[in-house]
Structure 1
Amino acid sequence: MTNRNRRDFLKKAGVATAATVGAATVGAPYVHAQSRAPIRWRMQTYAGPALAAHVIKPSIDAFNKAANGEMEIELFYADQLVPTGELFRAMQRGTIDAVQSDDDSIAAPVDVSVFGGYFPFASRYSLDVPVLFNHYGLREIWEEAYAEIDGVTWLGAGAWDPCNFVTRDPIRSIEDLRGKRVFTFPTAGRFLSRFGVVPVTLPWEDIEVAMQTRELDGIAWAGITEAYTVGWADVANYYLTNNISGAWAGSYFANSDRWNEVPEHLQTLFKLCMDNSHYYRQHWYWWGEAHYRTTGGKLELTSIPEEEWQTLEDAALEFWDEIAEQSDRNARVVQILKDYRQTMQQAGPPYRYS
């Protein structure tokens, strides 16, 4: 083939290819995300606006952007649509579509709900929670438990901050806890009442005022990061460095019908955004707990001697055994917690220092 013939061949082939592609393009249907109405969810978090700005809003904003018009989640804050204690039933009825909270606070009707939130001394550090769920079998147990409940799908759990006391008066001994009216989580309150604490339940947005009016003596609902972030450091004076749990265990839930309506690729996107939120909290709280202890300037730090605080941990192990008696599934969870505790102690530093 001469050079001229080769050029003519390539030219004709190029024209033919372009025509073929053009015809295929014209003939193919054009699919766009907006060809149908977007899926719309209403989701409520346990957190007020200042806290939600860290623990969930960035991930929901990212989801809405990445969903590209196919789905949009409207986020509501603590008690904004439904009181926190009624969230599970509201989600089950379809009044709201999804929830971020702990099982304990939303009164989830499963036996393992007692382990949500701050189960006393179940964790020492925030990494303990994802390790327990992903490597020690808690995920499978939670899936099993919620599979028995109609209308709600449990989507996964992650870690938040530790549970310390933020108080108006100093706590320097266990005896100082006696008679203190404290806002805390249901199961944590049941445990702390053994040491004279008076658990108080109030709407989240009322806590700051309740501290100012002395309706509350303290808060055992968070670590120091949240105390500064949500304004509690402005109405309290002291922060007890001893904690009854190293990390809050919180979950994401959805109304089952609404979750099943979501295409698989958007379900995957939502779970990726959940994981992004879990990751953000790991470093935000780890930074904040040290930062505010050392540079916060609003709260004086107090401590109970470790040998005295050990009496609480010993009592917690007795509490575990009582919970284990409530169901076979709870007994399995308690055994996992005991096995994990032993492993961490045997591993030594940096897993456990005592």
Structure 2
Amino acid sequence: MTDKAMINKRDFLRKSILTGAGAVGATALATPYVKAQSQIKWRLQTYAGPALAEHVIKNSIDWFNKAANGEMVIELYTADQLVPQGELFRAVQSGTIDAAQSDDDSAAAPVDVKVFGAYFPLASRYSLDVPALWHWHGLKEIWEEAYAEIPGVTWLSSGAWDPCNFGTTKPINSLADLKGLRVYTFPTGGQFLSKFGVVPVSLPYEDVEPAIQTGELDGVCWCGITEMHTVGWANVLKYYLTNPVSGAWAGSYFVNTDKWNAVPEHLQQLYRLAIDSSHYYRQHWYWAGEAKYRNEGKLELTTVPAAEWKQVEDEAFKFWDEVASQSPRAAKVVDIIKKYNESMVKAGAPYRYS
């Protein structure tokens, strides 16, 4: 190769590199500067008091806030802290708060399926029945349909909590012992239990323990034994009835629709993952606690004989039919619950024991 050819080759390479660098630089300079999005802030209120909230939601919100890396922060408020529990759904709908964790029933959600939130009498036996019903037997789609009719609120997810049993200051050894008992319970649960002479009492969550101490309440039918110990009610109660009114609480997550739509898709997905993490944590936390506190707790265990408790079960099935008559959608849910329980009985142990 001649010197002239070598010089021409060097010039060509030098010019190509400079031209390329200039093009890159021009492209970079031409790209508009995009200001980082301001931090998204939500206020979320849970149905739970401070001690219980540590387990049923706070840990998952802490995980979310850390993973969101400053893009979004959720401020958590406990039961009745911003609005009364009975106004919780409306508060989300109006935008007073951005999100909520609660059962549909006590939050007064204006849908025909709210009766199945919290503890629908004897609809489930174990906590795994709840996600099985929602994810594999059609309840998820029904809830999406129901809440799509309600403006301003988006339903995101339902999951399981603990079983529902009586914790009382008086022993329950027969159905006759239920008559006249004043208990703190859920709206639908109270409606059902009144058939056996129970007197449902509605109070702010934080007033329950003092009401038991003063004798205004004879007990609670609100939760399982884990929760009774966690929130301090076991300190003022004496007895725990092992017969469950329901096998698991069904609770949901709601958000204000406009606030939800304003959240980027990746943060929406992160929030859904936080919800699922909370569902999973509660599954093993409650399951472990229900056994632990029966064996090591402060409450004396009592049991109504199975043959007598069957009256409660039979009455529950009649109650299901009463609810089914309220709307076609309620009838559809009851039909799913019936078929699900029949399939569990047919499957046998460990799904159902005879």
TM-score, shorter chain, exceeding 0.5: yes
1:31 Cα deviation from its structure 2 partner: 8.4
Give me the TM-score of the superposition, normalised by structure 2. 0.92
Paired residue for 1:109? 110
Distance in structure 2 (CA, Å) of the matches to 1:76 and 1:258: 17
Paired residue for 1:137? 138
Distance in structure 1 (CA, Å) of the matches to 2:255 and 2:315: 35
Distance in structure 1 (CA, Å) of the matches to 2:145 and 2:98: 21
Paired residue for 1:49? 50
Describe the shift of the 1:313–1:21 C-alpha distance in structure 2 as closer, same or farther (beyond 3 A). farther
Paired residue for 1:208? 209
Counterpart secondary structure, 1:209: helix
1:27 Cα deviation from its structure 2 partner: 5.3
Paired residue for 2:3? none
Distance in structure 2 (CA, Å) of the matches to 1:197 and 1:314: 17
Distance in structure 2 (CA, Å) of the matches to 1:157 and 1:260: 20
Paired residue for 1:163? 164
Alpha-carbon deviations, 1:171-210, whole Å to 9, x = none?
1111101000000000000000000000000000000100
Once the two structures are aligned, what percentage of the paired residues are identical?
Answer: 67
1:35 Cα deviation from its structure 2 partner: 1.9
Paired residue for 1:349? 349
Distance in structure 1 (CA, Å) of the matches to 2:108 and 2:137: 25
Paired residue for 1:4? none
Matches within 5 A, 1:17-166: 35-166=36-167
Paired residue for 1:283? 284
Counterpart secondary structure, 2:113: helix
Matches within 5 A, 1:1-20: none
The one-letter amino acid paired with 1:113 is: K
Counterpart secondary structure, 2:270: helix
Alpha-carbon deviations, 1:264-305, whole Å to 9, x = none?
111100000000000000000000000111112x11111111
Matches within 5 A, 1:310-349: 310-349=310-349
Matches within 5 A, 1:220-259: 220-259=221-260
Distance in structure 2 (CA, Å) of the matches to 1:126 and 1:69: 34
1:69 Cα deviation from its structure 2 partner: 1.2
Alpha-carbon deviations, 1:331-350, whole Å to 9, x = none?
00000000001000000000
1:26 Cα deviation from its structure 2 partner: 6.5
Alpha-carbon deviations, 1:118-146, whole Å to 9, x = none?
00001000000000000000000000000
Distance in structure 1 (CA, Å) of the matches to 2:26 and 2:189: 65
Distance in structure 2 (CA, Å) of the matches to 1:112 and 1:53: 28
Distance in structure 2 (CA, Å) of the matches to 1:129 and 1:31: 49
The one-letter amino acid paired with 1:170 is: P
1:90 Cα deviation from its structure 2 partner: 1.0
Alpha-carbon deviations, 1:104-130, whole Å to 9, x = none?
001100000000000000100000000
Runs of 4+ more than 3 Å apart: 19-32
1:23 Cα deviation from its structure 2 partner: 5.4
Paired residue for 1:6? none
Alpha-carbon deviations, 1:313-347, whole Å to 9, x = none?
10000000000000000000000000001000000
Distance in structure 2 (CA, Å) of the matches to 1:23 and 1:228: 66
Distance in structure 2 (CA, Å) of the matches to 1:286 and 1:21: 63
Describe the shift of the 1:286–1:25 C-alpha distance in structure 2 as closer, same or farther (beyond 3 A). farther
1:30 Cα deviation from its structure 2 partner: 10
Identify unmatched segments of 5+ residues in structure 2: 1-9
1:48 Cα deviation from its structure 2 partner: 0.4
1:70 Cα deviation from its structure 2 partner: 1.1
What is the total number of aligned residue pairs between the two structures?
Answer: 343
Describe the shift of the 1:120–1:24 C-alpha distance in structure 2 as closer, same or farther (beyond 3 A). farther
Alpha-carbon deviations, 1:243-278, whole Å to 9, x = none?
110000000000111111111111100000000000
Give me the TM-score of the superposition, normalised by structure 1. 0.92
Counterpart secondary structure, 2:76: strand
Distance in structure 2 (CA, Å) of the matches to 1:24 and 1:89: 53
Identify unmatched segments of 5+ residues in structure 1: 1-8
1:36 Cα deviation from its structure 2 partner: 2.5
Describe the shift of the 1:21–1:230 C-alpha distance in structure 2 as closer, same or farther (beyond 3 A). farther
1:22 Cα deviation from its structure 2 partner: 9.1
Verify: 1:176 aligned to 2:168, yes or no: no
The one-letter amino acid paired with 1:309 is: W
Distance in structure 2 (CA, Å) of the matches to 1:258 and 1:276: 22
The one-letter amino acid paired with 2:99 is: A
Counterpart secondary structure, 2:242: strand
Considering only CA atoms, is the larger Rg found in Structure 1 or Structure 2? 2
